[in-house]
Structure 1
Amino acid sequence: MSMFCFQCQEAAKNTGCTVRGVCGKEDVTAGIQDLLIYTAKGVGLAAQGAGDDQVIRAGRYLVRSLFATITNANFDRLRIASLVLEGLVLRGELLAGGLGHQNHPENPDILTWKPLLAESRSLEELQDQLAAALAYQAGRSGVDQKKQLENLPEEAQAVPALVEDLEGKAALVGILAQEQEDVRSLRELTIYGLKGIAAYAEHAAVLGYEDPEIYRFAAAALARTSQDENPESLTALVLETGKTAVTTMALLDKANTETYGNPEITQVNIGTRSNPAILISGHDLKDMEELLEQTAGTGVDVYTHSEMLPANYYPAFKKYDHFVGNYGNAWWQQDKEFESFNGVILMTTNCIVPPKESYKTRIFTTGMAGFPGVPHISEDSQGRKDFSALVSLAKTCQPPIELEQGSITGGFAHHQISQLADKVIDAVKSGALKRFVVMAGCDGRHKSRDHFTQVAQGLPRDTVILTAGCAKYRYNKLDLGDIGGIPRVLDAGQCNDSYSLAVTALTLKEAFGMADINDLPIDFDIAWYEQKAVAVLLALLHLGFKNVRLGPTLPAFLSPGVAKVLVDTFGIQGTGTVEEDLAAITAS
């Protein structure tokens, strides 16, 4: 096999992608991503015992690197290779302080390896060559991955040999290098949880909110996944990862709400206007703010897409009269929706799929997202981004083709729910509202995900759905009615706002005086796709929630032994048929 990746729900045959990712990731890119994780483990090990300043510096690198390897985030092998070299330079600086060598005098490979080219060129020179290659690529809009290394300028001539060098090393350090199945499964479960944590930590950090303990845990956990082969201690590490996931989501919740206000109940327009426009997708609210500021007064409208829909709920964004509403649905439908949008698209995080030729010249990436041949918007030295190229291009585009009309309702994060608490509690006490079903998580391409639509349609009228993440697109446009004025679909926001759902459940537990969170009339039918959903799942386990149904398939990275532990300890189970799940919900 030329690669092995099984981190997402669409892993080939629910086993693993071995030639090319179902997501579109090429084998070389997959290998260099594996090498980036290996490099991050080395940085984590080198950071052990470091002071706060060094831990923060290492942590910032680690969260960016982990984030870049999330499914559908970064397909650009050169950007990933650049992160590898950045990590090697950082690792060297940490080791120069003597900490890594003192703690690990045997000098394991993750602390010592370098590209072969580093014997004749410094790592800094190789970084400069990669930067030159990326700058050259930025001027070749539309270039595909196969042509990425062709006709490079003289100052980047070492780059093809460097990529080949990194590819050779990657073949030795991939997932299957660990042969013990349960150990491999537990290590990867921790790493995938860390990837989700990293995404949330990065979103908080760009708003100025950081917690050194999150960084310290990420460094320590990565170091342990490089060395620990004890299933019991690795199981404990998985649960510690869930604890840190809760801490990180709480931090991001604080960052978002203190910066943009508490989400409020909002009717979001899903129609279009006749102006040229920019469509912003992904998760990063800071990008949303900067884009709205830079498009104000230009005659260019802004629409959200997929996981950016909840930006409509924040008070700070409602002052912009050119912020129209939401266009389209979940990430996987972008090939059709980006085409019909006609305008410029900005991908702020993961969820990008290989762009079609029909819109490849009007899509941009930023943050940790990347795709060969797609222009990338980076921060300047002051942390600002210049979106003027997007605005100029948008003015030349036709207005969006309208896909639908009307509105959808959202904004039911924990602060808003707390204001409705008395109404909700009265509905429960009266018997009008008998059950809550958490149907949060990710959407995806598989036809089997119709399961969640059919479950939503089949739930009794006295049941309320609590949701967050793009899984909501399976049912948020259905006419499911309300219970005494309480909508039957309560959308808290993005996938990270699953934290809001947990806070809501804990609030209800307290209100009803229950000793155990699992005594609440609440069920879980969670849709998962990528690693942020893994972080959310581990957070739920840490908070004590049991009997979570996860679908449409259980993760391929769970070995039979690890799956058994999760089943026996937490009642984790796969989704069944629609009829089986509805029967289980109504019987509980």
Structure 2
Amino acid sequence: MNKQVQMFCHQCQEAAKCIGCTTRGVCGKTSDVSNLQDLLIYLLKGLSMYNLEAKKLGINTNKVDKFITEGLFATITNANFDKEYFVEKIKETFTLRNEAKEQIIKEGGNVNITHDSATYFSDSVEELEEKAKTVGFLSIENEDVRSLRSLIIFGVKGLAAYTDHAFRLGYEDDEIYKFMQEAMVATLNDDLTVDDLVALTMKTGEFGVKVMALLDKANTSTYGHPEITKVNIGVRNNPAILISGHDLKDMEELLKQTEGTGIDVYTHSEMLPAHYYPAFKKYSHFVGNYGNAWWKQDKEFEKFNGPIVMTTNCLIPPKDVYKDRVYTTGAVGFEGLKRIPVKEDGTKDFSMVIEHAKKCAPPVEIEKGEIVGGFAHNTVLSLADKVVEAIKTGAIKRFFVMAGCDGRMKSRDYYTEFAKALPKDTVILTAGCAKYRYNKLDLGDINGIPRVLDAGQCNDSYSLAVIALKLKEVFELNDINELPISYNIAWYEQKAVIVLLALLYLGVKNIHLGPTLPAFLSENVAKVLVENFGIGGITNVEDDLKMFLEA
């Protein structure tokens, strides 16, 4: 690959030619933004060196911990396309680095950190852009090292996303912050062997389990355990606001501020599981889910008519016809879009969105009916006797974990056809927006247990692991892989990477990943994953179904 390409980004499933985007991201990200994201990641590694030294000295690092986490989150696919945002983040990185050095000096610590990522500085945007072209993944000569460092960094980006959601609800773990920073710094260490990097990859999976457990605790402690819920997918005749993304704290604040205004609130894509939480059921104006997975927003947002709030990644470049109705917050950004103001107490002010909504027509109905969800671990385990009995009697022969992400590729129709082709004595366990490929199909139930059990957002894949571990315990098995569970997972971005690494850490084997294997896996690294964990791709519905059922 030519290092003189305009950009190089290979972090998502839609990477061009399954190699990498070199002129413009398939996601719509421009080359200058992509390169500045690479530079921000590089400089955050240098900032992490100072921050880890500060931690050793007992200095309060919470401000920097959160900054690094938010910076990582902003570089996730489909999160932030705004060049100015990244220029400002880079400048803030320089400021925080200087502040950290001053504090370390006061405490008598080591500030003799000489790596370029910790010393580079420029106040010229032009110079920053030139520097950015030299620090991306193509600067790593060894293909296997590049592959493993990519896997670690992308896993850490997923960790950062879930850590961000947790600290928004007041739940933090300094060990998670520390590990993310240690892992980032380790990817600069040329002395680490391939074996060292493989071990670090597995440790990233370990922290993936920890962060999803932390976020699960944050969500359920704050909003209650998800309940089995029927969600309306039609519309009412009121002006409305559509909220997308994953951040439940934003969901809560929006519902509180729209109460009594005559404005309805609908969820979109990964925000659908908000309907399952007891705390949100008290809001009579919280009326349903509008639309499908993220990639259809360019058509569905136009028909919604009202304003749209993007709380996390999964934004695609908005069309002019509805661009003036899209508002961003948190890590999300796009040039020309309005941002939700943050008040002094840290809460967000949705008043301008509400006033905007009052001037808009009600949403155009695009479908009718209901979908059922809320099958997180607490709910499923409350039904454990019923599930176990169905397994023992043979009413349920096998579970298929079909969690993960949806995407634009036509080849993802595979997952709809796979769900349709599954025998009627099988049950789908799902989480994430991959469910939109089959959650509106009429697949029936088994003795009252729906054949599609939706645990929630992508981070709720943790629930599926908890369920599997509980079944292992109930059936007194030595190995989680002895359970009648097959894994046919769709992936798209970096949160799916950390979910995958978490499952590998838990010992789950024979996971099939599609519609394509990650572009950042070198031939040798892919071989390690195949030999040690049985990782595989997908082919076609008929052959894959035969393979799974005969396993």
Counterpart residue type for residue 280 of structure 1: I
Residue 10 of structure 2 is aligned to residue 47 of structure 1: no
Q: Deviations over 1:167-200 (max 9, x none)?
A: 1110111111111111111111000000011000
Q: Give the Å deviation of 1:585.
A: 1.7
The aligned residue for residue 184 of structure 2 is 222
Q: Where do 1:433-582 residues align within 5 Å?
A: 433-582=396-545
Q: Where do 1:75-94 residues align within 5 Å?
A: 75-94=81-100
Query: For the Cα contact (< 8 Å) 2:101–2:111, is it kept in 1?
Result: no
Residue 66 of structure 2 is aligned to residue 60 of structure 1: yes
Residue 224 of structure 2 is aligned to residue 261 of structure 1: yes
The aligned residue for residue 19 of structure 1 is 23
RMSD: 1.3
The 2-side partners of 1:84 and 1:510 are apart by: 48
TM-score where L is the length of structure 2: 0.97
Q: Where do 1:233-382 residues align within 5 Å?
A: 233-382=196-345
Alignment equivalent of 1:164, drawn from 126, 130, 141: 126
The 2-side partners of 1:104 and 1:481 are apart by: 63
The 2-side partners of 1:26 and 1:163 are apart by: 16
Q: Where do 1:200-215 residues align within 5 Å?
A: 200-215=162-177
Aligned length: 543
The 1-side partners of 2:440 and 2:254 are apart by: 27
Partner-residue secondary structure (3-state), 1:573: coil
Partner-residue secondary structure (3-state), 1:303: strand
Residue 400 of structure 2 is aligned to residue 396 of structure 1: no
The 2-side partners of 1:213 and 1:54 are apart by: 14
Partner-residue secondary structure (3-state), 2:53: coil
Q: Where do 1:141-152 residues align within 5 Å?
A: none
The 1-side partners of 2:53 and 2:371 are apart by: 50
Q: Give the Å deviation of 1:110.
A: 1.0
The aligned residue for residue 123 of structure 1 is none
Q: Give the Å deviation of 1:111.
A: 1.2
Q: Give the Å deviation of 1:71.
A: 0.1
The 1-side partners of 2:368 and 2:499 are apart by: 33
The aligned residue for residue 77 of structure 2 is 71
The 1-side partners of 2:83 and 2:473 are apart by: 49
Query: For the Cα contact (< 8 Å) 1:72–1:351, is it kept in 2?
Result: yes
Q: Give the Å deviation of 1:105.
A: 4.0
The aligned residue for residue 154 of structure 1 is none
Q: Deviations over 1:212-254 (max 9, x none)?
A: 0000101111110112442111111100000001100000000
TM-score where L is the length of structure 1: 0.91
The aligned residue for residue 107 of structure 1 is 114
Query: For the Cα contact (< 8 Å) 1:470–1:495, is it kept in 2?
Result: yes
Q: Give the Å deviation of 1:101.
A: 11
Query: For the Cα contact (< 8 Å) 1:348–1:365, is it kept in 2?
Result: yes
The aligned residue for residue 140 of structure 2 is 178
The 1-side partners of 2:414 and 2:435 are apart by: 13
The aligned residue for residue 413 of structure 1 is 376
Cα gap change, 1:493/1:360 in structure 2, threshold over 3 Å: closer, same or farther? same
Query: For the Cα contact (< 8 Å) 2:237–2:363, is it kept in 1?
Result: yes
Q: Which structure 1 residue ranges, 4+ long, deviate > 3 Å from structure 2?
A: 52-55, 97-106
Query: For the Cα contact (< 8 Å) 1:263–1:313, is it kept in 2?
Result: yes
The 2-side partners of 1:79 and 1:393 are apart by: 25
Query: For the Cα contact (< 8 Å) 1:305–1:326, is it kept in 2?
Result: yes
Counterpart residue type for residue 119 of structure 2: T
Q: Give the Å deviation of 1:61.
A: 1.4
Q: Deviations over 1:473-513 (max 9, x none)?
A: 00000000000000000000000000000000001000100
Q: Give the Å deviation of 1:97.
A: 4.0
Q: Which runs of 5+ in 2 are unaligned?
A: none
The 2-side partners of 1:18 and 1:378 are apart by: 35
The 1-side partners of 2:517 and 2:464 are apart by: 22
Partner-residue secondary structure (3-state), 2:366: coil
The aligned residue for residue 38 of structure 1 is 42
The 2-side partners of 1:106 and 1:58 are apart by: 17
Query: For the Cα contact (< 8 Å) 2:54–2:104, is it kept in 1?
Result: no
The 2-side partners of 1:471 and 1:544 are apart by: 23
Partner-residue secondary structure (3-state), 2:54: coil
Q: Deviations over 1:503-525 (max 9, x none)?
A: 00001000100000000000000
Q: Give the Å deviation of 1:83.
A: 1.2
Q: Which runs of 5+ in 1 are unaligned?
A: 118-161
The 2-side partners of 1:430 and 1:584 are apart by: 23
Identity %: 62
